[in-house]
Structure 1
Amino acid sequence: MTRARAFPDRRAAGLHLGEQLRRHEWHDPLVLGLARGGVVVAHAVAEALDAPLDVAVARKIGAPGQPEFGVGAVTARGDATYDARTLRALRLRPADLRESCEAEQAEARRREQVYLHGREPRPRAGRDVVLVDDGLATGVTARAAAHAIREERPRSLVFAAPVCVPEAATGLKADVDEVMCLLAPDDLRAIGEWYQDFAQTSDDEVVELLGSEPE
């Protein structure tokens, strides 16, 4: 596959990913899509595995003055996860990012409430959980989500994405039981380069996809 031609869109990527994941043996599987774009991929994976779908929300914590440069991430509850090497390189401490962390955690709680529509998250304990995103770049949001999921004692936790930065995929293996990437190109610069259509996923689309799941 060539760059910008690998996947037509997130759903098509999810169908390819689902075919690979079907080769595993699963115990009471649950598919979690990392909001927002990961939910589209995860919806197709859940169909392939005949498994329920739910959402995982993690928010990137940006460097001071560079909000798009993620130095860590946080979920709706619990402590933030930081990239230690990045903090050292920028001479930052977690305390320096407390205000940003609190703001992102509040946004994570808000989005979770919107996506779940007042219901409780599907239970993770004792299940094989598949955490899905549309790509893995730095890995900070995936790590934060994985840490939060681990707190709920799943039987196993697998991270899966259509395309991954090799270094990030290797680093994430310490936080999950398995990392599955369809593509891990050494020259990956941006996840969107590997999709023909990488339009931003809306909150409404996430709600619709989650609402289409059977109880």
Structure 2
Amino acid sequence: MIFHNRQHAGQLLAQKLLHYKSDKNLLVLGLPRGGIPVAFEIAKALETSLDALLVRKLGVPGEEELAMGAITLNGIKVLNQEILQSLEINEEKLQKVIDREVKILKERNRLYRNNRPIPDVKNLTVILVDDGIATGATIKAAIKLLKTQKPKAIIVATPVISQATYEDIKSQVDVLICLEVPQVFYGVGEWYLDFHQTSDKEVIDLLKSSPQKLC
């Protein structure tokens, strides 16, 4: 299945999640930026709140698309020790990347969420959404953050996830919902006809027009 765009993927994914609509303690969290348009369609279909969970990939210096880990707004890290060791990335190089990404996280929290604290998910059923999962670095950091708050359940929902990552993510959450689990996976973008970079304005507009506003 090839998705027209993130909105189309979110609409299809929402059909797999309709049974959660009756849950009165439900929250949809999207990973900015690309996960927000997908999450918006799910929140709209389930008539529930949408918020952004801010996580940034830690890209290898000079090869930023290669993830050596990820970090959340409040500093929770997931690191790929195999990549760090094989590429001989020392603590100083790693810290430079962390400092840069934390600065971006803080700025996005200001833009998207008016500097509010991270979402409070205690005793909530959380649907965590991204537009696709390759290595899983960012989603793992997000899951690790959510678990510190003791939610009732964590459901990860994504249109496409690499087969190599599927079992790993599935073992870390209560439910994993996806539409495609390809054996051959070169990148998330190949599963979309339109995979333009989601802008800050698009994220802000979608969060503002989400079904309910969070305090």
Q: Deviations over 1:116-169 (max 9, x none)?
A: 134455431110001000000110011111111222221111111001101112
> How far 1:102 sits from its partner (Å)?
1.7
Alignment partners' CA distance in 2, 1:132 and 1:39:
8
Partner in structure 2 of residue 103 of structure 1: 100
> How far 1:59 sits from its partner (Å)?
0.8
Partner in structure 2 of residue 192 of structure 1: 189
In the alignment, structure 1 residue 10 sits paired with structure 2 residue 9:
no
Alignment partners' CA distance in 2, 1:117 and 1:64:
30
Alignment partners' CA distance in 1, 2:89 and 2:148:
27
Aligned length: 211
In the alignment, structure 1 residue 71 sits paired with structure 2 residue 68:
yes
> How far 1:172 sits from its partner (Å)?
1.7
**Preserved contact between residue 71 and residue 77 of structure 2 (Cα < 8 Å):** yes
Q: Deviations over 1:84-129 (max 9, x none)?
A: 3322332345554011112111211211121013445543111000
Say which of 16, 20, 36 aligns to 1:20: 16
Q: Which SS does the other structure have where 1:159 is aligned?
A: strand
Say which of 46, 51, 72 aligns to 1:49: 46
What is the alpha-carbon root mean square deviation over aligned residues? 1.8
Partner in structure 2 of residue 87 of structure 1: 84
TM-score, with structure 2 as normaliser: 0.91
Q: Which SS does the other structure have where 2:104 is aligned?
A: helix
* Long gaps (5+) in structure 2: none
In the alignment, structure 1 residue 170 sits paired with structure 2 residue 170:
no
TM-score, with structure 1 as normaliser: 0.91
My pick for the range that moved more, 148-157 or 130-139, is 148-157
* Long gaps (5+) in structure 1: none
Q: 1:139 to 1:203 in 2, by over 3 A?
A: same
In the alignment, structure 1 residue 127 sits paired with structure 2 residue 124:
yes
- Listed as ranges, the matches of 1:136-147 within 5 Å are 136-147=133-144
> How far 1:179 sits from its partner (Å)?
1.7
